[in-house]
Structure 1
Amino acid sequence: MSYIHAGQSATGQAVNLYYQDWGTADAHSTAVLIHGWPLSHEMFEYQMTELPKHGIRCVAYDRRGFGKSSKPWEGYDYDTLADDLKAVLDELDLQDVTLVGFSMGGGEVARYMSRHGGARVKSVVFIGAVTPVLLKSDSHPDGVDQSVFDDMIEGLRNDRANFLHGFGRNFFGVNFISHPVSEPSLQYYQMLAMLASPKATIDCVRSFSETDFRPDLTTINVPALIIHGDSDQIVPFEITGQRTHQAIPRAQIVVYEGGPHGLFFTHKEKLTNDLAAFILENATASGQSYGIIGKR
């Protein structure tokens, strides 16, 4: 298996990040896929197998604490996670990449761009991302109340499997009249989530809910694409995707009508095609202006 060394834990143990690197030697560009909470890089299964057919090399890794990566006790703040992303780009010597961040992964994209000056990056994509900020506060009165995240953590502590079972149904928009994901697939994604460290799972709730990415977004000066479902019950579009688009110069936005949070599965073909078009456009073009594409 392939690993990247990302430093040491507070107790001196090596922190290694598992990654997959798929594509052909003649790829036109490279996408680095950053998964969402509480899953692992396997969530990008469809994109990882389809994007290389468009000439796009795909690199996806497991965040520390998740999947096959090391599971240290600490290090789940966004500064550390952005440094982990830098380790991936540096060790693989990737150049002119497109960073694709889903949900929590969008925060890593934003923090990397400010903390590391956008080094090695040609464009960025935010899919159902937690940016600019989720938590309700005096400076963000439209945000999500603290009690929602407290209840999530309480559910994880009391019965992690049961919490993730219910969370997964909301994640994919499953209800009495809508079944965009099969029961076996729901079970598979719950299995991926259960492989994560329970400590990392809880700490990351605090990180993605409490971190304010508004200053980070102002530093992004490369082409950006925001993709979000307007029926997202996990990361509400109105306070995240819509405002991320407003905060980033030269940004496109694509809104998927009726789309839930788990677009990588429920809208996998649309999402993959939109990613391919954006990545390949920016692999060869420069100096273009970007505006709202609209709903799809």
Structure 2
Amino acid sequence: MSTIKVKDGTEIYYKDWGTGQPIVFHHGWPLSGDDWDNQMMFFLQQGYRVIAHDRRGHGRSGQSANGNDMDTYVADVAELTAALDLKDAIHVGHSTGGGEVIRYVAKHGKGRVAKAVLISAVPPIMVQNESNPEGVPLSIFDEIRQGTGFTRAQYFYDFPVAFYGWNREGKTVQEGIKHNWWRQGMMGSVLAHYQGIKAFSETDFREDLKSVEIPVLVLHGEDDQIVPFNQAPKSAALLKNGTLISYPGFPHGMPTTEAETINKDILAFIKS
């Protein structure tokens, strides 16, 4: 296994395949780099170097008791990209990974990042508060905390149904994808997943978005039941060089269920 040890001693697992311009993939909660299998294969065959890490507490990375917060996630990415000496990179993030991408670019990406892609992403900020009255009530995240922390095996088995939109009329559960989601989730640390809910729901990325000058593509499904679609236009509006593509009927997990469309649009953006 390929790992680096970051400054607090936590081991971060990563996959690094191919040569050419690097594309770094940042996964969503509570998954792992395996959630990018389709994109890794597609872009590898297009001649890119593809890299996907498991966030601390997720997948095959170390299960640290501390550091399960956005700033530490981003610091880990900065150590990984420095260790691999990545330059002119494209960073692609899904859901929580989208927040990780935009903060990494804002805080550490100068001179290393060419473009970024945010897919079904949590920025600008998810939780409802005085400055974000259209956000998701904190009580919803408390329910996710309760299910994750204390009935995780069953909760994670049920969660993919809304994640992939299989609860909509005419949709059927794709059992292999559902079991793969559960497998990835159960590989990680229950503590990291529990604490990570605060990281993805309460972190405010508005200043990060405003400060980023590179081109950023924002992709979001209009039937996203996990991160509401109204996040995407707000992010695009805050970016200096943002482009929004929305997809009627697409679910939160669209990089998996709608990979052909998503991959095509990312490739066009990279080549533009």
CA contact (8 A) 2:219 2:232 kept: yes
Runs of 4+ in 1 over 6 A off after TM superposition: none
Checking the alignment, whether the CA contact within 8 Å between 1:118 and 1:220 is kept in structure 2 is: no
Alpha-carbon distance, 1:180 to partner? 5.8
| Counterpart residue type for residue 7 of structure 2 | G
Matched, 1:197 2:197: no
Give the match for residue 110 of structure 1. 102
Once the two structures are TM-superposed, the CA of residue 257 in structure 1 deviates from its matched residue by 1.3
Q: CA–CA distance in 2 between the matches of 1:192 and 1:113?
A: 26
Structure 1 segment 166-245 matched on structure 2, within 5 A: 166-175=158-167, 177-179=169-171, 181-238=173-230, 240-245=231-236
Q: 1:117 Cα deviation (Å)?
A: 5.0
Contact 1:113 1:119 in 2 (8 A): no
| Displacement of 1:16 | 1.2
1:84-95 equivalence runs, <5 A: 84-95=76-87
* Aligned AA (1:224): V
Structure 2 counterpart of 1:11: none
TM-score, normalised to structure 1, is 0.89
1:265 CA displacement = 1.0
Unpaired runs of 5+ in structure 1? 9-13, 282-296
Counterpart of 1:19 in structure 2 is 14
Distance in 1, matches of 2:178 and 2:246, equals: 24
Other structure's SS at 1:237 match: coil
Gap regions ≥5 residues in structure 2: none
Secondary structure of the 1:189 match is helix
User: In the alignment, which residue of structure 2 is the partner of 1:100?
Assistant: 92
- Partners of 1:181 and 1:280 in 2: CA distance: 34
SS in 2 for 1:179: coil
Distance (Å, rounded) in 1 between the aligned partners of 2:105 and 2:266: 19
The question of 1:153 aligning with 2:113 is answered no
Instruction: Please list the CA deviations of residues 211-242 of structure 1 after superposition, one character each: whole Å capped at 9, or x if unmatched.
Output: 1110111111001100000000000011x111
Match of 2:242 in 1: 251
The aligned residue for residue 266 of structure 2 is: 275
CA distance in 1, matches of 2:262, 2:269: 11
Name the SS of the counterpart of 2:41 in structure 1. helix
Q: Which amino acid aligns with 2:4?
A: I
Name the aligned partner's letter for residue 98 of structure 2.
G
Q: Distance in 1 between matches of 2:48 and 2:99?
A: 23
Task: Report how many aligned residue pairs link the two structures.
Answer: 272
> What is the distance in 1 between the residues matched to 2:42 and 2:68?
31
Distance 1:126 1:177, change over 3 A: same
Shift, 1:132, TM fit: 0.2
Counterparts of 1:97 and 1:207, CA distance in 2: 25
Question: SS at the partner of 1:20?
Answer: strand
Give, as a single letter, the amino acid of the residue that structure 2 aligns with 1:35: H
**Residues 220-269 of structure 1, C-alpha deviations (whole Å, 9 max, x = no match):** 1001100000000000011x111111110121111111000001111101
Structure 2 distance, partners of 1:37, 1:179, is: 23
CA 1:17–1:78: 2 relative to 1, 3 Å: same
Q: Judge which range, 63-72 or 172-181, deviates more.
A: 172-181
Which string of whole-angstrom CA distances, capped at 9 and with x for unpartnered residues, describes residues 108-141 of structure 1? 1121122225340111110000000001001111
Per the alignment, do residues 181 and 242 of structure 1 end up closer, same or farther by CA in structure 2, a change over 3 Å counting?
farther
Give me the CA root mean square deviation.
1.2
Contact kept, 8 Å, 1:31 with 1:98, in 2: the verdict is yes
The answer to which of 196-205 and 267-276 deviates more is 267-276
Say which SS state the counterpart of residue 7 (structure 1) adopts.
Answer: coil
TM superposition shift of 1:193: 0.5
